[in-house]
């Protein structure tokens, strides 16, 4: 009896310090428990979200990203009711990942998506990620190829892979848009309209699921016309092997442990050809709004302008868009 009285006095002091009455405390506890019972575990939420995105036709790449990041969060919070996970717990979890600021922001973005989905499903009334600040990540400088390196790459490429390299360099298509994905074939010759002067990028292979038409530059047209065979898929069956061979022949290295030279070859820049297209296009045409459309980019024109400006001199841009197969010795006969 005494212990009950002592507990009641202790509880009353604690509640007075918080400014709430015993009745309000009981209501809060009851509401919390009711929400937890109506809610789902985080693992269940993750499965529902992934299935919803699959039904909406999102790409396999997006699905893999969801599974990876939600799975890692679920390893800690999988059995927890979604309604009980607090902002402070998410912050602590993100900071213990031991990854860079950009990766932390990527995890935050996926968790924000998950908890917004939880609100739509009625699993909780707020989004705890809204109180989690984004990390300040300094933009990494874009790496591109020089005009001479592009020339060497095109000259080193075997005829079957040459059109794909030219389109990546002079039209800026993503590798997945040219090569295709697990479920969708890549670019077809029939989607290159020489009369209209555009390349169709289908929605099912485009990032963001938005189709677009990319202009064919004059020098790209000359590379494509010189390719000879123009039927079926543009990406050859052994395309990756041919592309790696072209990169190595042009002086770019792969695994440095394989190199026996004293000075290892320059590593291949990530998304190098697409970054080349954006950088040289911006330097030549000074039209970031058009470039955003051509790239199928999700950033606004100002963001893209700040990302690529100043990387290329105007004279180099003129030289880049003048690269043609006139002097190349590796072209297939028409």
Give the per-residue pLDDT at 109: 94
User: Would you give the DSSP letter of residue 267?
Assistant: E
Residues of the chain with CATH 1.10.150.130: 39-131
The closest of 176, 168, 173 to 273, measured between CA atoms, is: 168
The C-alpha atoms of residue 39 and residue 286 are separated, in whole angstroms, by 52
Are the C-beta atoms of residues 324 and 284 closer than 8 Å to each other? Answer: no
How many angstroms from the chain centroid is the CA of residue 37? 36
**Mean pLDDT, rounded, for 151-166:** 96
Q: pLDDT tens-digit profile of 18-59?
A: 666 776 656 555 555 555 556 799 999 999 999 999 999 888
Q: pLDDT tens-digit profile of 255-302?
A: 333 443 434 578 999 899 999 999 999 999 999 999 999 999 866 677
Class of domain 147-327: mainly alpha
Give the per-residue pLDDT at 332: 45
Q: Is the pLDDT of residue 310 over 60?
A: yes
Q: Is the pLDDT of residue 188 over 60?
A: yes
Give the per-residue pLDDT at 302: 74
Considering only residues 208 and 234, tell me which one the structure prediction assigns the higher pLDDT: 234
Give the per-residue pLDDT at 305: 81
For 212, the token pair is 């677009």
The closest of 249, 246, 252 to 265, measured between CA atoms, is: 252
Domain 39-131 fold: DNA polymerase; domain 1 (1.10.150)
Which residue reads 């509880």 in tokens?
11
Q: Is the pLDDT of residue 334 over 80?
A: no
The closest of 155, 150, 147, 153 to 331, measured between CA atoms, is: 155
User: Would you give the DSSP letter of residue 20?
Assistant: -
Residues of the chain with CATH 1.10.443.10: 147-327
Which residue reads 């600021």 in tokens?
101
């Amino acid at each position: 009896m005494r212990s009950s009285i002592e507990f009641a006095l202790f509880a009353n002091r604690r509640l007075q310090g918080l400014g709430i009455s015993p009745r309000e405390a009981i209501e809060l506890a009851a509401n919390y428990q009711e929400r937890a019972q109506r809610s789902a575990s985080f693992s269940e939420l993750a499965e529902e979200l992934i299935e919803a995105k699959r039904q909406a036709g999102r790409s396999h790449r997006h699905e893999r990203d969801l599974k990876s990041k939600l799975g890692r969060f679920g390893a800690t919070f999988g059995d927890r009711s979604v309604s009980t996970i607090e902002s402070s717990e998410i912050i602590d979890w993100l900071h213990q990942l031991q990854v860079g600021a950009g990766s932390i922001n990527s995890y935050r973005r996926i968790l924000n998506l998950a908890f917004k989905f939880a609100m739509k499903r009625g699993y909780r009334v707020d989004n705890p990620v809204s109180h989690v600040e984004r990390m300040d990540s300094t933009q990494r400088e874009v790496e591109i190829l020089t005009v001479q390196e592009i020339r060497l790459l095109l000259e080193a490429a075997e005829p079957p892979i040459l059109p794909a390299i030219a389109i990546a360099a002079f039209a800026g298509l993503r590798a997945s848009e040219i090569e295709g994905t697990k479920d969708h074939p890549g670019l077809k010759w029939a989607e290159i309209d020489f009369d209209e002067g555009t390349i169709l990028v289908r929605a099912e292979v485009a990032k963001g699921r938005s189709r677009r038409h990319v202009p064919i530059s004059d020098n790209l047209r000359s590379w494509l016309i010189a390719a000879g065979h123009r039927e079926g898929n543009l990406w050859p069956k052994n395309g990756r092997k041919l592309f790696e061979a072209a990169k190595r022949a042009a002086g770019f290295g792969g695994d440095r442990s394989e190199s026996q030279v004293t000075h290892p070859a320059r590593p291949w820049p990530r998304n190098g050809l697409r970054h080349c297209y954006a950088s040289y296009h911006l330097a030549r045409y000074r039209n970031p709004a058009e470039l955003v459309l051509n790239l199928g980019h999700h950033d606004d024109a100002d963001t893209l302008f700040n990302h690529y400006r100043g990387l290329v001199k105007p004279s180099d841009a003129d030289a880049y868009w003048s690269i043609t197969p006139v002097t190349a010795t590796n072209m297939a006969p028409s």
